[in-house]
Amino acid sequence: MRSQLCGLRKETIVAGRLDDKVALISGAARGQGAAEARLFAREGAKVVIGDILDAEAEQTAAGIEAAGGAAVHVHLDVTQEADWREAVSAAVGSFDRLNVLVNNAGILRMEGLEETTIEVWNEVIAVNQTGVFLGMKYAIPAMRAAGGGSIINISSTSGLIGSPKASAYHASKGAVRLLTKSAAIQYASENIRINSVHPGVITTTMVTENVDADTRALFEQATPLGREGTVEEVANGALYLASDESSYMTGAELILDGGYTAQ
């Protein structure tokens, strides 16, 4: 596996599958979003890294720049309309256009239905569902001006199937799945493609901080490939959807779960 751009060994970025594209990625300071940002930059995209973790986001952007890529950081609380306006403006102002949006930011809460407080419910819905809605709402006009684009909404296998826990998370990710389909139909005639990605259990800080080791072990045992996924594997899926290789794909679901939902 290639080392991270922020590591000790620098990589030279060469243009490729996303040459001449500008991508805005939410929740890109670390983990899955950072992996997407680094991969997109390696493939030729200019990247706008949006996150509330400003110091880490700036470090990720600096690593991409140090390797020869183009990246800027913007403060982005995905629940705030003003932040989305500024993020899209930063993309257009820095790089002249916006071609790709990855709605990656998300939070996980593991409470069951009766244990979920209204405060937890509202928090999860605001980030995971409203954040995706706002991202699309403010990115689409910029994509229209650019002649089209690709929106990638990170949902989850929790948006496809249920479980005994994480009621708010399931609700939010299921909403992302159908909002994606609705928007895809609305904007297909404008060459704006919109698809959702449904990862299974991925080794991220969000998972390690919210899912206990026994539960993770049960997921591994129930997964045909017998392991958790990596952030790089999810980033590769997002890369395909961001690229012109997926030009006939919209309103679809890309499932990256090691076969978990195939059973």
Contact indicator for 197, 176 with CB cutoff of 8 Å:
no
Question: Higher model confidence: residue 3 or residue 238?
Answer: 238
Take residue 65 and report the two structure tokens written for it: 């720049």
Mean pLDDT value across residues 244-260: 98
Mean pLDDT value across residues 161-190: 97
Q: Which residue has the tokens 């993020």?
A: 87
**Does 40 have pLDDT greater than 80?**
yes
| Cα separations in angstroms, 127 against 115, 134, 212 | 19, 10, 22
- Residue in 169, 187, 248, 260 annotated catalytic: 169
- From the list 3, 65, 56, 10, the residue with the least C-alpha distance to 34 is 56
CA torsion sign, 77 to 146 to 231 to 16?
negative
Residue 1: what pLDDT?
A: 32
Mean pLDDT value across residues 93-122: 97
pTM higher than the cut 0.85:
yes
Residue 13: what pLDDT?
A: 52
Q: Which residue has the tokens 């995209």?
A: 45
Proportion of the chain above pLDDT 90, given as a percent: 88
240 is catalytic: no
Paired strand residues for 254:
197
User: pLDDT category, 212, cuts 50, 70, 90?
Assistant: confident
